[in-house]
Structure 1
Amino acid sequence: MRKTVALAISVAGMTAMGAASQPAAPDPIKWMAPQSPARLYGSTYLVGFGDLNVAMIRTSAGLILVDGGVPQGVAQIKAHLRQIGFSIRDVKLILSTEPHSDHAGGFAALALDSGATVIASAAGAAVLRTGGGDPDDPQAAWLDRFPAVPKLRVARHGETIRLGDTIVTAHATPGHTLGSMSWSWKSCEGKACRTIVFGASLNPVAADGWRFADPAHASFVDAFRASFERVKAMPCDMLIPSHPAADQADRLTRLGKARTANPFLDPGACRAYAQRAEAALANKLTE
């Protein structure tokens, strides 16, 4: 039954892609736990899944999406946009955190349906253009291919991207992949404005046999360490990690009951996020 459901979702998702179709991840269901769309703060929303965050930023000139989930999740993202009163055609920009199928698999279809431009780091864009297959990725032996993204814009670290009344800043945070990019912007409720960070994964995970302690992989360790320090230093009133925290569902429930004490606001969240990843890398090196 599990394989039958996965196949049905795959066929529906790939049909929606039309010309963007390519082989999809074989088991996307693990990433697609149901989660209702929610406004987190001001112009910032979640429109993704219980296992994968996809953010939406409402601007005066259209919508920005951050990440795109797996190919089979595109229909659900579009449904979530409709639930909160928007259309996929309102999306003008799509920002990439990393060129892996769980975060970038939906880009080709989302961009095709919206006409939006996908923006990524230079290293990330190189992999997005081929639909994965980066042999230097620590997880290369595990990774699934995904629909290639032909229409791309490259952003540099520190570059600001404006759409209408909103400015988003690119922060290179390589390590998990050498193309990883985090993004930050301000959202306001009345005169109270907060800095929101959508954090790329900092998880030091690798396929069997790939060792961070190998001198040949020193560039990944150096990249991680630089990213940890960068994330610790970011202005950060609210963190949206690309993979949700274990208590996200509980916080969404609390958010729906009372907006006076927003459970997602935490000025220490980015520092704690980096510190946890830093400890995980230390354990990997010890192993």
Structure 2
Amino acid sequence: MHCRRSAWFAIAALALAANAASASQRDDAQPATAKPAQAMPCKDESDWNEATAPRHVFGNTWYVGSCGITAVLITSPEGHVLIDGATEQAADGIARSIEASGHRLRDVRVILNTHEHFDHAGGIAKLQQLSGARVLSRTAALPVLRSGKSMRNDPQHLELKAFPAIPDARRIADDGVVRVGTLTVQVHATPGHAPGSTSFSWRSCEGTDCRQVVYADSVSALADGEYLYSDHPEYRASFESGMQAIADIDPCDILLTPHPSVSALWPRLRGEQPMASEGACRALAESGRQNLQKRLDKESTETPR
């Protein structure tokens, strides 16, 4: 098993080196010609850094992340969009996964980010360097992406590691649309888990069977040892509006999340559960609301007044 995993990474690494060397000579994206690597099981499906083979999700949508952190590749003949870069340590594995899926890393035109934490943005700077892509983000996340350092307005600030900065990250509107050729990705402002939390949706087709894929950001109400949601009513209100925005995305045919375990992605990719599930976005939002209420209840009973 280890030999097979090493073999496909070695082949992909050779292709990556050749393409990265000429990344500055950008041309029209080429159709995939290589067959995707056989899916390799993860030793630990929660490991943020463990590299794994690419998985075909649906249509032009691919999972190219690590075992425990999602990165999504959306492809088109004119170029591709990558969402998230996982950790700094996972960046090379993501690059190899893109190549192993039969797509060229240098054809990635835009890199997006669900939220400005090291486990989802840490690898973006390296992937930008390798691909030459533009990095786009909502305004709320830009200061952190450009500096690589968390700010106190993030509930998890004291527990967040620094990551490689992306000084030329550019702004996209809270309700903007990212276009690469015929590819259209809708931006949804869904603040809460982080101030810059963002979700995305797009249409993927297999023949005449078309589905809306939604990559919804995390809805967990986590905090460091100092932050209390009960002391920040404005942030709490923005969190609630973000969860409502996720619930309102319709249709929500295929749900993806930054941590694959949250949306049971691995069992779905193995065919053990349906890839599409009606009401998935509403269910995710409701789980977030319940989680936030539990956090508030805990704060009310544990915080001296």
**TM-score, with length taken from structure 1:** 0.84
1:232 is matched with which residue?
247
What aligned pairs does 1:110-259 form with structure 2 within 5 A after superposition? 110-214=127-231, 217-235=232-250, 236-245=252-261, 247-254=264-271
The partner residue of 2:288 within 268, 277, 283 is 277
Paired residues of 2:88 and 2:123 also in contact (CA < 8 A)? yes
**Counterpart in 2 of 1:20?**
none
Letter in 2 for 1:226: S
Identity of paired residues, percent? Answer: 35
Contact 1:78 1:87 in 2 (8 A): no
Q: Which runs of 5+ in 2 are unaligned?
A: 1-16, 18-45, 299-305
Give distance in 2, aligned partners of 1:279 and 1:31. Answer: 26
Give the Å deviation of 1:249. Answer: 2.1
Q: Deviations over 1:209-250 (max 9, x none)?
A: 311112xx1122101110111111101111110111253222
CA distance in 2: counterparts of 1:245 and 1:273, whole angstroms: 12
Corresponding residue to 1:88 among 88, 99, 105:
105
Query: 2:117: which partner in 1?
Result: 100
Amino acid at match of 1:110: L
Q: Is the 8 A contact 2:91 2:127 kept in 1?
A: yes
CA distance in 2, matches of 1:233, 1:285: 24
**TM superposition shift of 1:34:** 4.4
Larger Rg: 2
Is residue 2:62 matched to residue 1:45?
yes
**1:71–1:105 Cα contact (<8 Å) kept:** yes
- Secondary structure at the aligned position of 2:191 is classed as coil
Alignment match of 1:72 (pick from 76, 79, 89): 89
1:7 corresponding residue in structure 2: none
Instruction: Give 1:93 deviation, angstroms.
Output: 0.4
Q: Distance in 2 between matches of 1:130 and 1:123?
A: 13
Displacement of 1:267 in angstroms is 2.5
Dislocated runs of 4+, deviation >3 Å: none
Query: SS of 1:213's equivalent?
Result: helix
**Aligned residues of 1:99 and 1:132 also touching (Cα < 8 A):** no
Matched residue SS, 1:254: coil
State how far apart, in whole Å, the 1-side matches of 2:278 and 2:212 are. 9
Residue 33 (structure 1) shift:
3.7
Q: Distance in 1 between matches of 2:224 and 2:201?
A: 30
Aligned-partner residue type, residue 234 of structure 2: S
Say whether the 8 Å CA contact 2:117–2:150 is kept in structure 1: no
Unaligned 5+ runs, structure 1: 1-15, 17-28, 256-261
Residue 159 of structure 2 aligns to a residue in which SS?
Answer: coil
Counterpart of 1:234 in structure 2: which amino acid? I
Contact 2:189 2:242 in 1 (8 A): yes
| Superposed displacement of residue 124, structure 1 | 0.6
